[in-house]
Amino acid sequence: MYEGIVQDLIDQLGKLPGIGPKSAQRIAFHLLDADEDSVRTLADVLIRVKDTVRFCEVCGNVSAETLCRICSDPRRSDSVICVVEESKDIVAIERIREFKGRYHVLGGAIDPIGGVGPNDLRIAELMKRLGSGETEEVILALDPNVEGEATSSYLSRLLGSMDITVTRLASGLPVGGDLDYADELTLGRAFLGRRSV
């Protein structure tokens, strides 16, 4: 344990995903050694990101404007919507340069143990979008883990009665992890090899 504010800093850093106690301590001492300007810049970015970043009104992606870059791009097709858990999954799928449709961010996955049910996700917003009748295919691109599976099954059932093709990514993604853990080649193959459910 360190005294006062230094320990507070280590404790706060340790709450970040993927940062263990050792890393938290290393980052804390890096910040203590860093010059004041760079620490101020970091603090300023942290505050501004919370103040200014919004979520796209249509798809839920992080966005600086009311509509994100993908929703406001007229060259993209409205006929296919790719459903993902988080904005970071959009970045992963955009990297493979195969998809020219739109996205829908659920904001997580169904997780009964963690207390996340369908009503906690942006599923109602998805149904509203599909109600416009422009969508021909919904691609379920959820994480290859238990929660992602549960969410895919739930959505497949929900969309089953609609006149829309529902597809899922082909198997082959590293099981148990996040979608964005997969390398581009693997994700690209899973995307192109998607199958109807």
The contact set with Zn ion (CB under 5 A) reads 56, 58-59, 61, 68, 71
Beta bridge partners of 139: 82, 167
Nearer to Zn ion, 66 or 171 (CB): 66
Closer of 85 and 147 to Zn ion (Cβ): 85
φ, ψ for residue 27, nearest 5 deg = -65, -40
Least CB distance to Zn ion at residue 94 (A):
12
Residue 48 C-beta: closest distance to Zn ion, Å? 21
Q: How far is the CB of 66 from Zn ion (least distance, A)?
A: 9
Nearer to Zn ion among residue 92 and residue 173 (C-beta): 92
| Distance, CA of 138 to CA of 32 (rounded, Å) | 49
Minimum distance from residue 61 beta carbon to Zn ion (Å): 5
C-alpha distances out from residue 96 to 34, 189, 192, Å: 37, 9, 10
Structure tokens given for 56: 């796209």
Closest to 121 measured CA to CA, from 164, 95, 150, 94: 150
Decide whether 90 or 173 has the Cβ nearer to Zn ion.
90
Beta bridge partners of 111: 116
CB of 134 to Zn ion, least distance (A): 15
Question: Do 135 and 165 form a contact (C-beta atoms < 8 A)?
Answer: no
User: Distance between CA atoms of 49 and 35, rounded to whole angstroms?
Assistant: 22
CA dist 167 and 38 (Å) reads 46
Q: Which pair of tokens denotes residue 29?
A: 């001492």
CB-wise, 56 or 141, nearer to Zn ion? 56
**CA 187 – CA 39 distance, rounded (Å):** 37
SS3 assignment, position 82: strand
Measured from the CB of residue 2, what is the shortest distance to Zn ion in angstroms?
43
